[in-house]
Amino acid sequence: MMLQLGLIGYPAAHSLSPWIHHQFMSDQNIEGKYSLYEIPPGEFESKIQKIKHSSLDGFNITVPYKEKIIAYLDEIDDAARFLGAVNTVKVENGKWIGYNTDGIGFYNSVAKRYPEALSSNKKVLLLGSGGAARGIYYALLKQNVSTIDIANRTEEKARKIIEDLDGTRFSKALSISDAEKKIHHYDAVIQTSSVGMSPNDDQSIVKITDIKNGSLFSDIVYRPMKTTFLKQAEALGANLHYGHEMLLYQAAGAFEIWTDAVPDTQEIMIKFENKLRGDSNVNK
């Protein structure tokens, strides 16, 4: 029996998810297909009803539908409920069950390379307050990280995440300018916005002039692989964590939900990095 998976979003045409999940299926000797479902906003309800009657075993869902899909689900897990967003749906006995693997995907990708970077005694700063920040904040709270501050251009948005997820004992909201001055106090700094994404490669959400010795700097942007934010941190001796690592582990979490199989992320990571660099020898 062939596994039928897909991605729902808009736009979705340039997504790397099909490549990633076909690698996972090959690694696990699973026959299947991962398709793209690019749905314009005005057609969401009608297209979702058609998909409800399709033979899909599961699907990912991305912007702008991570919240909208919830109304069409039969069940959701705790992470998705707390975050108010779903990125993975499993079809089980005719029911659509929603999950969110964004935050735990980020955490697992960091823990694989830097096991102590996000341990309970660390001070962490998140830059940005969108859906990715929310997911990562939730995952760090679940891992009992002791201090997780959030900085955003609109400080109130950062404060809302903290209050929504009941993190006032562990966190404070900062302006970007305040965070910029205090970056050297943190053990890990995580850039969660789209600032610095291609074609605006020269941009950075903050100017980094001083860092804590041995600190980790992470950027969820994966095009380019090494953003201006990361280049600044690298020049000061920081340990780096890249956006494509989160993307792969978030996908691995979804794949495990669908199949109960754990793909070899280490081997696939090498292929993925070569693909992002434009290596023509990587399998399509």
Which residues are catalytic, by number?
66
**Sheet holding 216-219: strands in order across?**
173-175, 147-152, 123-127, 188-191, 216-219, 239-241
CA 172 – CA 159 distance, rounded (Å): 7
Q: Which helix (H) or strand (E) element contains residue 216?
A: strand 216-219
Q: What is the largest CA-CA distance in the chain?
A: 57
- Is the separation of the CB atoms in 217 and 229 below 8 Å? yes
Compute the distance between CA of residue 226 and CA of residue 261 in angstroms, rounded to an integer.
30
Backbone angles phi, psi at 173, to 5 degrees: -90, 140
- Of 178, 191, 250, 247, nearest to 217 by C-alpha is 191
Q: Is the dihedral of CA 142, 255, 258, 21 positive or negative?
A: positive
Chain length of the chain: 284
CB 261 within 8 A of CB 30: yes
- Residue 268 · residue 24 · CB < 8 Å: yes
